[in-house]
Chain A
Amino acid sequence: MLKPKVPLEKQKVMPVNGDEAVAYAVKQCLVDVVAAYPITPQTIIVERFSEFVANGEVKTQYVPVESEHSAMSACIGAAAAGARAFTSTSAQGLALMWENLYIASGLRLPIVMAVVNRALSAPINIHCDHSDAYGMRDSGWIQLFVENSQEAYDTTIQAFKIAEHPEVQLPVAVNLDGFFLSHTLENVYMLPDEEVRNFLGGYRKPVKTYIDYLNREVEYKLDPANPLSIGPLDLYDYYFEHKMPQVEAMRKASDVVREVNEEWRELTGRSYGDGVIDSYAVEDADVVAIVLGSSAGTMKYVASVMRQKGFKVGVVRLRMFRPFPFNEVRDLLKGVKAVGVMDRGLSFGSFGPLYLEVSTALYYSKERPLLVNYVYGLGGRDLSPAMAEEVFMDLTKVAELGEVKEYLKFIGVRS
């Protein structure tokens, strides 16, 4: 194992919560414009960042917009002008900027957004679930989910590099669990400013594209030297063609997420699985739970306890939800008898979105594990170790039985 370029002694340990970790990451990333609107549990990100701005610690223009829709609009404008742009939101705010999410990815603007996952109304609930992130899964954004505040810091920095990669050029959402991560204190190792700057290659450099009427390649930005018209009207003769590059960029994105994860490991010594999937004790597992976000921590802890009791259980934490790593999931689950997909959100009238993706991944496998969907933790309902054990025991019974009686189960709800 090679020593990281920046050994731990050179990394500063800061006791911060998840939101602050994100704010500190943004501070170091040479971001030009931050346009955001406060919403619990994201508020600490914008508050901390405003302090940095007020103290002159960053040269970022902080735009205190009047709504989340305007936050994404301003980020789109800023990114189109050639700047590096960042925003952050949760639940209702994310829902409010919905149309602009599709616009940002359609215009291929590498905006980074920290989504502090919170349940969608109604009823209004400020606590953690993944319904907000699930709601944007079709929008063309790359979606990464972090397990702890250290990963929140690391991934926010990586997000800019992934987004701005010349073959990607897609916006990236970094998801961290509301309150569980955003508001709980953790020791986070932070790099020196210079290392982050070098990792990102300095300021953002827009990609180039060839424009016939200018007879040359120009940077894709609003530039009086090379006038471009960004955001035209497409009729039915071109819209479909314009969606294909987004498809291709998504395909490239999983390679880039893996590459960046590897580069980060060389720089800091830290990595998260292969960047796309983080697995624990899956190689010889009979029973596996798949989960997104901070609950993976609980699942892994309970799995280790159960392993000691002799149960062959494993946990797969998906770090990258979009683009969905179908092949990797399928290959990882080969030989597993029963798989429990844990969704902290639900598509009403159907299953949890993660379950739908996993079942698609497994559809063409000759030997498919038994698949059960466990919906848990809606509205911030905690996933306790007892509930985690319940899931593993249930899956074990399913594996013994050899068939699935109930496809969709709800964990931890009172009837």
Chain B
Amino acid sequence: MKEEPRGWRELPIGAVTYKLSLEYKTGGWRTLKPVIDLSKCTRCMLCWLFCPDMAIVWNGRDVVVNYDYCKGCGICAHECPVKAINMVSEYS
């Protein structure tokens, strides 16, 4: 994730940002993580819709958690209408 901090001659004009936050993996923040039970999942897409971190991804068939970014907030589990998502400890 880290390159050497740049010197001022190497920066774009006007302090414009030059990297995407995709390089900053916020997955390290969480203490709980969601586990989706695909056998219960109806593919309603609400978890995908409500995830504040775009950490639930649709691959065409399933909703999949992107653990690189998931902060473990649990909104997906709480909103799932069929209780297909369980929040489990990150350290289990």
State the A residues within 8 Å of B (CB).
Answer: 106-109, 169, 207, 209-213, 220, 228-232, 234, 237-238, 241-242, 244-245
| CA–CA, A238 and B9, complex, Å | 12
Contact call B14/A229, Cβ cutoff below 8 A: no
Task: List A contacts of B8 (CB < 8 A).
Answer: 241-242, 244-245
Contact of A232 among B13, B15, B20 (CB under 8 A): B15
Contact call A108/B19, Cβ cutoff below 8 A: no
| CA–CA, A108 and B13, complex, Å | 7
| CA–CA, A113 and B5, complex, Å | 35
Is the C-beta of B91 less than 8 angstroms from some C-beta in chain A? Answer: no
Contact call A209/B12, Cβ cutoff below 8 A: yes
State the B residues within 8 Å of A (CB).
Answer: 5-9, 11-20
Contact of B14 among A107, A213, A238 (CB under 8 A): A107
Contact call A228/B7, Cβ cutoff below 8 A: no
Contact of B13 among A212, A234, A237, A245 (CB under 8 A): A245
Contact call A211/B13, Cβ cutoff below 8 A: no
Contact call B16/A213, Cβ cutoff below 8 A: no
Contact call A109/B16, Cβ cutoff below 8 A: no
Task: List B contacts of A108 (CB < 8 A).
Answer: 13-14
Residue among B6, B16, B19 having the largest count of chain A Cβ atoms under 10 Å: B16
Contact call A242/B15, Cβ cutoff below 8 A: yes
Enumerate 21 A-B pairs (CB-CB under 8 Å) in ascending A order: A106-B15, A108-B14, A169-B14, A207-B13, A209-B16, A210-B18, A211-B12, A212-B19, A213-B18, A213-B20, A220-B12, A220-B14, A220-B16, A230-B16, A231-B15, A234-B15, A238-B11, A241-B7, A242-B15, A245-B11, A245-B13
Distance in angstroms from B23 CB to nearest chain A CB is 9
Task: List B contacts of A230 (CB < 8 A).
Answer: 14, 16
* A241-B7, A244-B8 given; A212·B14 CB < 8 A: no
Task: List B contacts of A245 (CB < 8 A).
Answer: 8, 11, 13
Task: List B contacts of A211 (CB < 8 A).
Answer: 12, 16, 18
| CA–CA, A106 and B11, complex, Å | 13
- Given A220-B14, A241-B8, 20 more A-B residue pairs with CB atoms under 8 Å apart are A106-B14, A169-B13, A209-B12, A209-B13, A209-B14, A211-B16, A213-B18, A213-B19, A213-B20, A220-B13, A220-B16, A229-B16, A229-B17, A230-B16, A232-B16, A237-B5, A241-B7, A242-B11, A244-B9, A245-B8
Task: List A contacts of B7 (CB < 8 A).
Answer: 241
Contact call A212/B18, Cβ cutoff below 8 A: yes
A241, closest chain B residue (CB): B8
| CA–CA, A245 and B6, complex, Å | 13
Task: List B contacts of A234 (CB < 8 A).
Answer: 15
Distance in angstroms from A230 CB to nearest chain B CB is 6
Distance in angstroms from B17 CB to nearest chain A CB is 5
A231, closest chain B residue (CB): B15
| CA–CA, A357 and B19, complex, Å | 41
Please give me the 4 A-B residue pairs with the lowest Cβ-Cβ distance, nearest first.
A244-B8, A241-B8, A108-B14, A209-B12
Contact call B17/A232, Cβ cutoff below 8 A: yes
Contact call A241/B19, Cβ cutoff below 8 A: no
| CA–CA, A220 and B15, complex, Å | 11
| CA–CA, A31 and B19, complex, Å | 33
Task: List B contacts of A242 (CB < 8 A).
Answer: 8, 11, 15
| CA–CA, A211 and B16, complex, Å | 8
Residue among B8, B15, B18, B20 having the largest count of chain A Cβ atoms under 10 Å: B15
Contact call A210/B5, Cβ cutoff below 8 A: no
| CA–CA, A238 and B14, complex, Å | 12
| CA–CA, A106 and B14, complex, Å | 6
Contact of A109 among B5, B14, B17, B20 (CB under 8 A): B14
Distance in angstroms from A130 CB to nearest chain B CB is 29
B6, closest chain A residue (CB): A241
Task: List B contacts of A212 (CB < 8 A).
Answer: 18-19
Task: List A contacts of B11 (CB < 8 A).
Answer: 238, 241-242, 245
| CA–CA, A207 and B8, complex, Å | 18
A105, closest chain B residue (CB): B14
| CA–CA, A242 and B5, complex, Å | 12
A169, closest chain B residue (CB): B13
| CA–CA, A210 and B11, complex, Å | 9
B13, closest chain A residue (CB): A209
Distance in angstroms from A224 CB to nearest chain B CB is 16
